[in-house]
Amino acid sequence: MRRRHTFQRILLLLLPFIATAQLQKMEPTRHEESQVPAYTLPDPLVMEDGTPVAEAGQWSARRAELLEILSARQYGFAPPVPVSVKGKVVSEDSDALDGAATMKQVEVVLTHGDKSRTLGLLLFLPNAAAQPVPAFVGLNFFGNHTSHADPRIRLHGNWSPNNEALRVTDNRATEDSRGLRAHRWPAEEIIARGYALATVYAGDVDPDHEDGCKDGVHGLFGETDHTAPPEERWGTIAAWSWGLSRILDYMEESEPAVDGARVIALGHSRMGKAALWAGATDTRFAATISNNSGCVGAALHRRRFGERLVDINTNFPHWLNDRSKSFNERESDLPFDQHQLLALIAPRPLYVASAAEDLWADPKGEFLALLHAEPVWQLLGIRSDLPREMPDVGGSLTGPLGYHIRPGKHDLLSEDWVRFLDFTDRMAGS
Ligand code: GTR
* Neighbour count for residue 208 (Cβ, 10 Å): 20
Distance between CA atoms of 310 and 177, rounded to whole angstroms?
32
Percent of the chain with pLDDT over 90: 92
Q: What is the four-CA torsion angle of 215, 67, 275, 194, rounded to 10 degrees?
A: -130
The pLDDT of residue 429 is above 50: no
* Neighbour count for residue 178 (Cβ, 10 Å): 21
Active site residue 241: no
Distance between CA atoms of 333 and 180, rounded to whole angstroms?
42
The pLDDT of residue 284 is above 50: yes
* Cα of 306 from ligand 1 centre, angstroms: 11
Distance between CA atoms of 328 and 64, rounded to whole angstroms?
25
* Cα of 270 from ligand 1 centre, angstroms: 6
| Residues 64-85 pLDDT 10s | 999 999 999 999 999 999 999 9
> Is 6 inside a domain boundary?
no
Atom of ligand 1 nearest to the CA of 410: 13
Domain tally for the chain? 1
Q: What is the mean pLDDT of residues 393-417?
A: 97
| Residues 240-283 pLDDT 10s | 999 999 999 999 999 999 999 999 999 999 999 999 999 999 99
Indicate if ligand 1 lies below 6 Å from the C-beta of 181.
no
Q: Are strands 287-291 and 258-268 parallel, antiparallel or unpaired?
A: parallel
Q: Strand, helix or coil at 277?
A: helix
> Is 339 inside a domain boundary?
yes
> Is 10 inside a domain boundary?
no
Residue 214 pLDDT level (bands cut at 50, 70, 90) = confident
Longest CA–CA separation in the chain, Å? 73
| Residues 312-355 pLDDT 10s | 999 999 999 999 999 999 999 999 999 999 999 999 999 999 99
* Cα of 280 from ligand 1 centre, angstroms: 20
Asked if residues 134 and 430 have their Cβ atoms less than 8 Å apart, the reply is yes
> Is 230 inside a domain boundary?
yes
The residue type at 377? W
Residue 20's pLDDT is what? 42
The pLDDT of residue 54 is above 50: yes
> Is 39 inside a domain boundary?
no
The pLDDT of residue 15 is above 80: no
The CATH number covering residue 197 comes to: 3.40.50.1820
Query: What pTM does this model have?
Result: 0.94
* Cα of 295 from ligand 1 centre, angstroms: 9
Quote the domain boundaries for residue 248. Answer: 63-429
> Is 162 inside a domain boundary?
yes
> Is 116 inside a domain boundary?
yes
Asked if residues 424 and 134 have their Cβ atoms less than 8 Å apart, the reply is yes
> Is 38 inside a domain boundary?
no
Indicate if ligand 1 lies below 6 Å from the C-beta of 294.
yes
| Residues 152-169 pLDDT 10s | 999 999 999 999 999 999
User: Which of 269, 290, 324, 354 is labelled catalytic?
Assistant: 269
Distance between CA atoms of 260 and 253, rounded to whole angstroms?
8
Active site residue 318: no
Residue 4's pLDDT is what? 45
